[in-house]
């Protein structure tokens, strides 16, 4: 074999190749700029002809097709057939739609002769198809559970509501007493007021901590708060006091969840919202937490704290290795990771032997790390970033949440204010708060409609409590305004069908209802919340109840 000359075998450094490539691109750009000055005169001459061509297109003048077959020598029947098939082109009809004012005078005569294949008819047919797709859910005898936090709820009815926003002294007192004691007024033999107004006021109450009347702590949006208010971060004593009472409140709620005396509660921080649910809710045998939205940094924090979690809404090909593995799976995974580390070391050794500098190897490793970082951040702050933590891992997350610095904003109107805790049952340092109720009467086309607005954090049990006190013969329509970041809660589907069958064989749902009998929910409502059927949990923005058929529909 002939030896390769030394000049051809010379090793070119990658940085030198990049410099040569950039220099070549600059030369090409300079040459194009010089050529562009020469062609400017010829370009200006052709502008008028191009403008005329565009004017013809905009005015819907059909251009001549160079490949079109002449129809002069065709028979009459074939000529008519070709004219029917070759109706208005897509371009022509599209510009007609854009230039309606220009062709308004002749639109009435042309629409009668338009073929079915015209672009306008295709648009019309697509619009009809889309309207037919948006159908309501078929009537069901039960109302689904939506774990989404809602900030507003509006009730519509053709009949006047049995309740109103004006309360008597006895009605307000009885509503507060029955709510704080978790009493079912209809079943308990008490001297409390059992009027519809008292029951409705009971449905409008909830527990919150912290409660600062001059700040909007739900939803946790810094844009809606007045920036001129006092910054609590500058007053260390107030900041410390708020944090200590918040820790006691969170511990109290966590103990209630563990002992199944509270069905659920929410932790609303500036960057995320956590939903704690007791064992037995939605068929889960253990206490569990749902967090959304999350970021790569927050998930890495959980990994550093050795907290195993799942991402059930993340696509299969993008999911990381999950917890709850067998010993064999963990051993195999450990061995694979060890082999990958050895491969990385061998790659670096091979590149060193090939004469690549250490700085270039470092640059290659940095590029690979950036690619991995980008793929991990694709689902950040989306529904797919939802994190599910179950079992004993919840205890570790609870300790992590107590010490999580990112849960409290360091700057802004809510600086130094701990996350908002929302629960349907009382807890330590919790403040009894009521939803704001506004009543309206609307007249449309000579028909009177009665409206009732509820403003504030609408918990999942609040809706079911209101439907429970509604008369079965009265139809009602309810619309909602959701907190967008919490919609992912209702998208989490329970285990596979096989695990559901095992749960039914063990009687997990029945035991869950029995163990949660003291959680403060009505027995009828608790049955829906403990159901493991994924069809009974979904997102909805509009709910309708028909008194004639006794069924619910939602969209």
Q: How far apart are CA 39 and CA 97, in angstroms?
A: 36
For the segment 323-343, the average pLDDT, to the nearest whole number, is: 46
Q: How far apart are CA 31 and CA 27, in angstroms?
A: 6
Q: How far apart are CA 383 and CA 534, in angstroms?
A: 18
Q: Residue 332 above 90 pLDDT?
A: no
- Per the DSSP assignment, residues forming a β-bridge with 156 are 451, 477
Q: Which residue has the higher pLDDT, 459 or 90?
A: 459
In sequence order, the 6+-apart residues with CB closer than 8 A to the CB of 417 are 210, 212, 215, 217, 232, 242, 408, 409
Q: Residue 330 above 50 pLDDT?
A: no
Claim: this prediction has a pTM higher than 0.75? no
Domain boundaries, the chain: 166-314+382-435+491-528, 327-376
Residues 265-299 pLDDT 10s: 999 999 999 999 999 999 898 999 999 999 999 99
Question: What is the structure's pLDDT at 210?
Answer: 96
Q: Which DSSP symbol is given to 534?
A: G
- Ranked by mean pLDDT, which of 3-17, 28-42, 446-460 comes out on top? 446-460
Q: How far apart are CA 206 and CA 179, in angstroms?
A: 9
Phi, psi dihedrals of residue 523, rounded to the nearest 5°: -60, -40
Question: What is the structure's pLDDT at 411?
Answer: 85
Question: What is the structure's pLDDT at 243?
Answer: 95
Burial of 445 (0-12, 13-18, 19+ CB in 10 A): exposed
Residue 91 CA to its chain's centroid (Å): 38
- Per the DSSP assignment, residues forming a β-bridge with 553 are 544
Phi, psi dihedrals of residue 12, rounded to the nearest 5°: -95, 130
Residues 35-84 pLDDT 10s: 876 566 555 555 555 455 544 544 445 556 666 655 555 555 544 444 44
Please choose, from the candidates 548, 538, 408, the residue with its C-alpha nearest in 3D space to the C-alpha of residue 136: 538
- Could you report how far apart the first and last alpha carbons of the chain are, in Å? 77
Give the SS3 label for residue 407: helix
- Cβ pair 537, 147 in contact under 8 A: yes
- What is the SS3 string spanning 316-355? HHHCCCCCCCCHHHHHHHHHHHHHHHHHHHHHHHHHHHCC
Q: How far apart are CA 50 and CA 31, in angstroms?
A: 26
Longest Cα–Cα distance of the chain, Å, equals 110
Please choose, from the candidates 150, 146, 162, the residue with its C-alpha nearest in 3D space to the C-alpha of residue 452: 162
Where does the pLDDT of residue 111 fall: very low under 50, low under 70, confident under 90, or very high at 90 and above?
very low
Q: Residue 132 above 50 pLDDT?
A: no
Q: Which residue has the higher pLDDT, 138 or 130?
A: 138
Phi, psi dihedrals of residue 56, rounded to the nearest 5°: -65, -40
């Amino acid at each position: 074999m002939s030896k390769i000359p030394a000049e051809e075998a010379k090793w070119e450094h990658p940085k030198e190749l990049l410099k040569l490539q950039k220099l070549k691109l600059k030369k090409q750009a300079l040459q194009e700029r010089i050529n562009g000055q020469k062609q400017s005169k010829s370009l200006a001459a052709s502008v008028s002809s191009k403008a005329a061509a565009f004017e013809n297109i905009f005015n819907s003048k059909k251009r001549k097709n160079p490949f079109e077959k002449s129809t002069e020598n065709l028979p009459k029947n074939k000529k008519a057939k070709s004219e029917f098939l070759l109706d208005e082109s897509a371009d022509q009809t599209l510009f007609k739609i854009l230039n309606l004012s220009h062709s308004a005078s002749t639109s009435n005569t042309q629409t009668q002769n338009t073929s079915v294949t015209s672009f306008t008819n295709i648009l019309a047919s697509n619009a009809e198809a889309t309207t037919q797709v948006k159908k309501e859910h078929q009537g069901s005898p039960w109302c689904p559970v939506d774990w989404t936090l809602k900030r507003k709820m509006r009730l519509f009815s053709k009949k006047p509501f049995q309740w109103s926003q004006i309360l008597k002294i006895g009605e307000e007192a009885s509503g507060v007493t029955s709510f704080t004691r978790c009493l079912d007024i209809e079943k308990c033999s008490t001297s409390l007021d059992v009027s519809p107004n008292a029951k409705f006021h009971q449905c409008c109450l909830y527990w919150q901590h912290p409660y600062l009347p001059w700040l909007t702590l739900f939803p946790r949006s810094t844009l809606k708060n007045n920036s001129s208010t006092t910054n609590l971060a500058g007053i260390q004593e107030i900041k410390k006091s708020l944090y200590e009472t918040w820790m006691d409140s969170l511990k109290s709620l966590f103990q209630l969840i563990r002992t199944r005396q509270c069905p659920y509660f929410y932790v609303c921080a500036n960057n995320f919202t956590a939903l704690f649910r007791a064992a037995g809710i939605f068929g889960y045998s253990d206490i569990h937490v749902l967090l959304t939205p999350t970021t790569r940094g927050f998930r890495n924090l959980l990994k550093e704290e050795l907290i195993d979690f799942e991402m059930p809404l993340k696509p299969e090909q993008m999911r990381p290795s999950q917890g709850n593995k067998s010993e064999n799976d963990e051993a195999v995974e450990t061995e694979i990771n060890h082999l990958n580390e050895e491969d990385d070391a061998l790659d670096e050794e091979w590149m060193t032997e090939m004469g690549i500098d250490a700085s270039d190897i470092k640059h290659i490793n940095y590029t690979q790390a950036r690619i991995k970082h980008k793929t991990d951040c694709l689902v950040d702050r989306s529904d797919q970033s939802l994190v599910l933590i179950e079992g004993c891992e919840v205890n570790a997350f609870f300790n992590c949440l107590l010490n999580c610095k990112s849960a409290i904003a360091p700057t802004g109107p809510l600086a130094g204010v701990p996350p908002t805790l929302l629960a349907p049952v009382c807890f330590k340092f919790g403040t009894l708060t009521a939803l704001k109720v506004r009543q309206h009467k609307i007249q449309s086309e000579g028909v009177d409609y009665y409206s009732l607005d509820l403003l504030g954090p609408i918990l999942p049990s609040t809706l079911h409590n209101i439907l429970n006190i509604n008369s079965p013969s009265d139809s009602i329509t309810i619309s909602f305004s959701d907190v967008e970041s919490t919609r992912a809660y209702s998208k989490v589907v329970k285990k596979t069908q096989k695990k559901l069958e095992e749960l039914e064989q063990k009687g997990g749902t029945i035991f869950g209802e029995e163990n949660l009998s003291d959680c403060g929910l009505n027995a009828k409502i608790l049955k829906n919340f403990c159901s493991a059927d994924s069809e009974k949990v979904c997102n909805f923005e509009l709910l309708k109840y028909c008194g004639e058929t006794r069924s619910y529909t939602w969209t």
